Chain A
Amino acid sequence: MDNAIKTLIRYEWISFARNRFQLLMIGVTFLFGLYAIYYGQSEIDAQRNVIKEIMEMEQGEFKTYQASFKREPETVEEEQNHDIASNPAFAWYRHGYHAILPPHDYAALAIGQRDLFRYYYRLTGMSLHYQLFENELANPVNLLAGNFDLSFVIVYLLPLLIIAFCYGLYSGEKENGTLPLLHIQSVTISRIVVIRLLFYFTLITGLAILMSLIGLISSGSVFKPENRLPALLWVVGVIIYTAFWFGLLFLIVSYRKSSSFNAITAAGCWLFFLIVIPSVLNIVVTTMYPLSSTTLASLTRRTGFENEDDEEETKEVIMEFLAHKPELAGSDSLIRNNRLAKAYAAFTSLKDINSQQEVDHYNEQVNKRNDWTTHFHWINPAVSMQDVFTHIVHTDLNTFLRFQDALAVFHGKITDFYFQKLFRDQPILFEDYSRLPSFQMDEDTHRYTTASGNILKISLLAILFVMAGLVQIKKKNLI
């Protein structure tokens, strides 16, 4: 580093440190960052508490069942409990299992769609589609307002800070009359502008990394294997995103227009990236891929037999169901026992089988929308960045769609477990409680490649802007 650069940086620091307004902005942004971390954590903690509460309910339920094997029932209630615990004719639709999508440690930093989608379901052996479409309680007004989490501070507010610091880097000198003084220095103007930009880049990126580290460390250890990569990608993403905005500002400044022009153009870009493009894409995708949930709504209807006492009607349904289930082969000879329970089990399962196509079609449409909007990440670095954040902390749409798929698999396990007992007339034994079906969801291996791909796209844009800026600023070197 030569002396001129050292001098430049030293004086930039002095002028920065003496500007109360700039210090205030940095301080306010930092406080907003802290609040955002706190808010995100409180939101996710609330979800963790709900999960805990739910698990306790489930454990309580199954404890009652297990306890009923331990001693002879004395009251009517105890007898009922034992029936529910041991008789598959009751158990298949009374035993409730929770499928839970626990928050990632860093979900607090980018809540994404987590406040909108359900992260837990109670499933019984009854029709999956009865149980799938219920919403979580939420205030629509607050859903519309969105979350003030760290990703919001980084995606929305940091660019504004960058604009406020950099829009007058060249024009300010011109307007203050200090430009001719700079021209007579040995260092070229373009060099001065670049060095000053780098100074602020270090400062603001430093602030962003500081906030991120506070968020990351306070939300979960960065050394845990499942946290290492997300933490790294988060920090890299933040650096690239600020670099993109500095590149853009550099390009704007390099045109050497007035301060007001720069400020308006930069604010206009911010508006475009953060409000106009995403909101236009949202409305276009809504009209291009119209979706109507009204067809799915019908699946939640609770239908039953015309006449439960009609043996023929119920038998037919059971036989139709058994045709779908080779693993239950041979159980048709036992139809007479517990006929009604079997008939209802068959009935709701058939309903699921028959409506699966409709649900798949609907999800496919949602996926199409998602894919279509992904194409626009190139022109949409802010949304792209938000997408990176939600991907690495598991709060993106895909996670929830995959959760739904895992629910279907889990529901299959539950029905298999109970229907084996029910259709083969076997009671549920105390030993069976040690091998109850359990929920599993595989890790999505693509999420980090998707996130890295997006980061790459943003960095290419950043490089593009910097190059264009360099070309522009080298043109006409004198006033």
Chain B
Amino acid sequence: MRDLFSIARKEIIIALRERLVVSLGIIILLLLGVALYAGYLSYSQQSRIIAEKQQEKRQEWLGQGDKHPHIAAHYGTFVFKPKTILSVFDFGLDTYTGTSIYLEAHHQHEFMFRPAQDHSSMIRFGELSAALVLHVLLPLLIIFLAFSSFTKEKETGTLKLLLSQGVSYATITWGKVLAYGVALVVILAPYIAGMFILATFSVSSSFIPDVALRTILLVVVYMLYIFIFLSLAVWVSLRSATGRNALLTLLACWIFLVILMPKTVANLSESFHTLPSMRAFKEAIQNDIRDGVDGQTPRSVRRGKLEKEYLQKYQVDSVHQLPFNFEGVSMQAGEEYGNMVYDIHWKKLRDIFHRQNRMGSIASIFNPYLAVQHLSMALSATDMHTAIDFEDKVETYRRELVRKMNNDMAQNSRYGEFYEYKASIDLWNEVEDFSYVVPSAFEILQYYKLEMISIVGWSILIILLLNYSNRKSKPIHG
């Protein structure tokens, strides 16, 4: 045990003497600081605007004056995608998912305005976030720190000296891993502490209740990630004859895992499962609503059937004799038919998304970078599943809003009249303001089983590899 610590201490001293490594460490620290600061600035800017606008839209809805409920349903309202406090850490998909949506009767709109559209193509080089620093840049620091950990001892002959002193390979290896691990944790500690404070004391993020838990999980995920890269670097160094070889091998791994593979997987998924164009997608929905899903029951036929049903049910000869406004019932039936058609087409579209992203999940088994990227987004609530959950809840809200309007019209107005009936603020008040709470961390993690298996699997694999190589390595090879 004493050997382990003295080796660890020696490694840290050596690392501190390497000017290049130290300056790289400082740069990474600075970048991390800049990323968090800028992330926080844009978070507070955006969340302030969004809160204001959301409030404004609510006031518009309440203050729209007296009008017919169906006109109000068309007037509708807007929902803006809120920013989570954890997006300060990982922007995730926020730049590429739409940010606002118009809610009105008959139409299920899509989210508009992807923030990336306000940038030149430079945005495709990525945005500096703390997550980017940690999962893209930090592995490089680790590589530069650890690539020569064994090769240098071999090249200078100190490895033989160490082994002749009775120190085992295992002690040397774990001593080195421990040293680098401690160094990195010390570097990152202020940020981790800062994250905790930010996360637990921020009051404004009521829609993401389990911030503390998510932060802890984030720390665990990144710790494992750092451990995987660190051990990998030490292992490669142990197996390489020269520092040059170790460095090249590790850099090649990094490029493959971090730069090439994610892009390739995403592009392949796009080629295997192609998306329809928006125009064709909408056309198909409109056709189905017009002619019926089977193409045989157009709107007029559906309305006729509904009318007959109601006349029979209430034992009357004309819709005028019904105790409520049939127009409202018919409107709501039309709405529900539309919803059903939308659901069919949206499900198809979502299936394509899921199949595409599934390829990413499977790829993450072979690539800890992808696994950590996905988990980090999931825990920061900036991933695809949280975005989809948000969209679904917005849509449920829209349907409820329209249903309330149509029901009110059916109950309170008379058939054949339109402008004669006006609803008032009491009805508008019945529609509650939209409020969103993200799913809990555990619910979201359900979607990321493969990713979790991946990082745990990689951690175990790398320990086994190191132990195996420790046993197999003979001093003679040193």
Contacts and interface: CB of A to CB of B under 8 A. Distances in A.
The answer to whether A binds B is yes
Interface of A: 32, 35, 39, 42-43, 46, 50, 53-54, 57, 112-113, 116-118, 120, 122, 133-148, 152, 156, 160, 164, 168, 175, 259-261, 263-265, 267-268, 271, 274-276, 278-287, 290-298, 300-304, 306-309, 365-366, 369-370, 373-374, 382-383, 386-387, 390, 395-397
Nearest 3 interchain pairs by C-beta: A145-B266, A278-B125, A293-B113
Contact of B243 (A260, A304, A397): A260
A471 B109 CA distance: 63
Given A292-B46, A302-B74, A134 B24 contact: no
B267 to A, nearest CB: 5
Contact of B144 (A122, A264, A304): A264
Nearest to A376: B122
Interface stretch (B93-101, B190-198, B392-400, B453-461): B93-101
A146 B263 contact: yes
A141 B360 contact: yes
Contacts of A164: 248
A306 B129 CA distance: 48
A286 B42 contact: yes
19 contacts: A50-B277, A117-B117, A135-B110, A139-B270, A140-B384, A142-B266, A147-B263, A156-B259, A268-B24, A271-B137, A279-B126, A279-B132, A282-B123, A283-B128, A285-B119, A292-B46, A292-B53, A303-B75, A308-B419
Contacts of A284: 38
Interface string B329-353: 0000000000000000000010011
A293 B112 CA distance: 9
A386 B121 contact: yes
Contacts of A279: 125-128, 132
Contact of A282 (B76, B119, B349, B356): B119
Contacts of A112: 121, 124
A158 to B, nearest CB: 13
Nearest to B259: A156
A359 to B, nearest CB: 12
A9 B2 CA distance: 55
A135 B98 contact: yes
A98 to B, nearest CB: 8
Contact of A302 (B104, B140, B281): B104
Interface in B429-459: none
B118 A148 contact: no
A276 to B, nearest CB: 7
Interface in B351-376: 352-353, 356-357, 360
B50 interface: yes
Contact of B267 (A134, A142, A267): A142
Contacts of B275: 137-139
Contacts of B35: 283
B84 interface: no
Contacts of B112: 133-135, 293, 296-297, 300
Contacts, number: 257
Contact of A260 (B80, B244, B384): B244
A275 B122 CA distance: 10
B126 A302 contact: no
A390 B119 CA distance: 14
A142 B49 contact: no
A396 B248 contact: no
B78 interface: yes
A280 B31 CA distance: 8
Given A116-B114, A144-B93, A267 B120 contact: no
Nearest to A285: B119
Interface in B134-158: 136-137, 140, 144, 147-148
Nearest to A35: B264
Nearest to A147: B267
Nearest to B94: A140
Nearest to B31: A276
A297 B100 contact: yes
Contacts of B247: 260, 263-264
Contact of B122 (A138, A306, A386): A386
Contacts of B67: 306
Interface string B247-266: 11001000100011011111
Given A116-B114, A302-B76, A282 B42 contact: no
Given A139-B270, A139-B356, A290 B78 contact: no
Quick one: which of A276, A278, A386, A387 has the most chain B CB within 10 A?
Answer: A276
A396 B120 contact: yes
Contacts of B137: 271, 275-276
Given A144-B266, A294-B53, 10 more contacts: A122-B279, A136-B278, A137-B276, A164-B248, A264-B20, A292-B46, A292-B49, A294-B49, A301-B78, A307-B419
Contact of B42 (A35, A156, A175, A283): A283
A274 B46 CA distance: 27
A137 B349 contact: yes
A141 B263 CA distance: 10
A286 to B, nearest CB: 5
